[in-house]
Amino acid sequence: MSIVQAVKIGIAEMEVVKAPNVIRTCGLGSCVGVVIYDIGKAVAGMAHVMLPHSSMARGGDINVAKYADTAVEALIRLVVAAGGRKGMLRAKLAGGAQMFSFSAAGGDMMRIGARNVEEVKKQLERFHIPVVAEDVGGHNGRTIEFHPQTGVLSIRTASQELKEI
């Protein structure tokens, strides 16, 4: 019997696991946790995306896991390198909350959560990866854990029941 490891990823990080291991991240407020997986190969990758566009980066080198427009492509490459099959990849999303209330004066710049979700979905569509389930928006932070063997994404939200998608 193998020991199950829970691989933890932090903000602006990504990682890949194979069953029986699981992958988790916490602190998903306006950030988005994107999981790309191949259930048949029991392999999954997760990225903790912080911002929608790498054009927001300051300086030269960028952390590709930090931005939706770069993280999805990099995560696909990692999952495929770990044995995932491009045509069988699926995605699940969580996060993208509007954590603070702002007046209309803040405009689109203050909608980071919604913009993160939009950009992740745009990138997944670009690579023809269907989103099979999501738990996005709202006003609460989330902790998520993905099980590549079952394809279940467990979502814990403050003051709410555990949800599985």
Which has the closest alpha carbon to 89: 123, 117, 65, 124? 124
Catalytic: which of 9, 14, 16, 31? 31
Largest distance between two CA atoms of the chain = 57
Distance CA 37, CA 52 (A): 21
Active site residue 31: yes
Handedness of CA 9, 23, 95, 158 (dihedral sign): negative
Write the CA distances from 50 to 10, 61, 115, 133, 148, integer angstroms.
Answer: 10, 16, 10, 20, 23
3-state secondary structure (DSSP) of residue 49: strand
Which tokens is 145 given?
């854990």
Helix 68-81, helix 112-126: angle, nearest 10: 40
Catalytically annotated residues = 31
